[in-house]
Amino acid sequence: MHNHPILVLGGGQLGLMMAEAAIHLGVVVDRLDTANDKLMPGTSNLRVDTTLDFLVDRYAVITAEMEHLPDSGLVNGLRLSERWMNGSAFDILPGRNQQKRLLDEIGVHNAPWKMLHAQDDMLSAHDSLGETLVVKTTRGGYDGKGQWVVSRGDDQDIPASAFGELIAEQKVSFSREVSLVGARSEDGQTLFYPLAENHHHNGILRFSIAPAMGVGKLGDSANFANLANLQSEAERMLTKIMTKLNYVGVMAMECFEVDGELMVNELALRVHNSGHWSQTGSCVSQFNLHIRALSGVRFPQEPVYQPTLMINLIGCEYHPRWHQIDGVHCYWYGKERRAHRKLGHINMTGSTSFEIQQKADALRPLLDAEHQSMLDKALALINSH
Ligand code: AMP
């Protein structure tokens, strides 16, 4: 399969970063903007048609950078073609209810839940799941959108028309959120990054620290044993999921840590924001790994990792001096600025927490107050370990 062109459905930053990674592997990755069925320059820079026959003929592998695909003639045609990768994962995982049903079926622990067919189901959901629920749309919600945290009798913010396409989840009291990003090749080989610890604000990921134990904790043997247990548990869970779906590529598993055990929050069948740290913290980034899996390039045998702090740039102004600081890696997506929108991210990698602290100190004056407070929170966590 190596050298065969890949088509990614979607016009966002994830596909663009896949194309960038593909350059190093000699693989052509183009992108299709599903909003208007126009091909976007990837690594081939060719102007080509976007008829179904042409695309299926030109691309050996067709995948997507997003799970919620539009119901258009071209996209549906591509999904039915033999080039479409991971068909059952794309059929099942985008529906929260179907995803959770699959996890239950294969015995992977996830937040207890119930389908809400009608408003009346709220009562029985509270009875079985608890006084506070997290209600989520079965499709389309992300970054905290399409979600309501409700106490008993306090569900008036949920539009009545949404019932039938909602689930209620138990509100989990977690000690922290972690995610595992890993990949599976066509012949079943797997590779996992160390768990990352993730911090959200208003449902949006603000920063990730990898490895999840925090940087300074690396030398502490008791913590090392705990983290090693958590890591193998997470790998066992994600292997089970990817194997069940016969999945090829990178998948991300977001989890709650509850009393030292993992509970899946949700799965992303693609590269994931909580894996962006790997662009500088690993010798093989998640984008590179995804393209390797899709084009049959072997995984590295013993990838090297370095502790990394990734902070997301949300709704803020671009600062040209971000690109001037040594060892601070800024990725700016060139998107239109809007409040609460992910506009870029910054990676700080170092072999010690002190090195990361130094980079963060240089970056701090170039951030607005909100991002400074996120950075301080992340550093406090790193230094507390
Ligand atoms: P999601 O879009 O499902 O990833 O949710 C965004 C964030 O909301 C998560 O990262 C959690 O911080 C929080 N959250 C989602 N579901 C639950 C839950 N069942 N219990 C507690 N917090 C939740």
pLDDT tens digits, one per residue of 139-162 = 987 666 789 999 999 989 999 999
Pick from 312, 286, 268, 275: which is nearest to 66 by CA?
Answer: 268
Residue whose Cα lies nearest atom 13 of ligand 1: it is: 203
Band of pLDDT at residue 46, cut at 50, 70 and 90: low
Residue 169 CA: nearest ligand 1 atom is 19
- In the chain the domains, ranked by start, together with CATH numbers, are 6-84 (3.40.50.20), 112-170 (3.30.1490.20), 176-383 (3.30.470.20)
Question: DSSP string covering 304-345, please?
Answer: -B--EEEEEEESPPP-GGGGGSTTEEEEE--PPP-TT-EEEE
Which tens digit of pLDDT belongs to each residue from 101-121? Answer: 999 999 999 999 999 999 999
- Collapsing DSSP states into helix, strand and coil, what is residue 69? coil
Q: Is 165 in the pocket of ligand 1 (CB under 6 A)?
A: no
State pTM to two decimals.
Answer: 0.91
Report whether pLDDT(215) > 50.
no
**Is 265 touching ligand 1 by the criterion CB < 6 Å?**
yes
Q: Which of ligand 1's atoms lies nearest the C-alpha of 204?
A: 6
144: Cβ below 6 Å to ligand 1?
Answer: yes
pLDDT band at 216 (very low <50, low <70, confident <90, very high): very low
Query: Closest residue (by CA) to atom 8 of ligand 1?
Result: 203
pLDDT band at 385 (very low <50, low <70, confident <90, very high): low
* Average pLDDT value for the chain: 92
- Tell me the C-alpha distance between 127 and 119, whole Å: 14
- pLDDT digits 0-9 by tens, 340-372: 999 999 999 999 889 999 999 999 999 999 999
Determine the distance separating the centroid of ligand 1 and the alpha carbon of 139, expressed in angstroms.
Answer: 15
pLDDT of 260 above 80: yes
Write down the residue that tokens 């179907």 correspond to: 98
CA atoms within 13 A on the CB side of 245: 28
User: Residue 28's closest CA among 55, 60, 52?
Assistant: 60
Tokens of 207: 């920063």
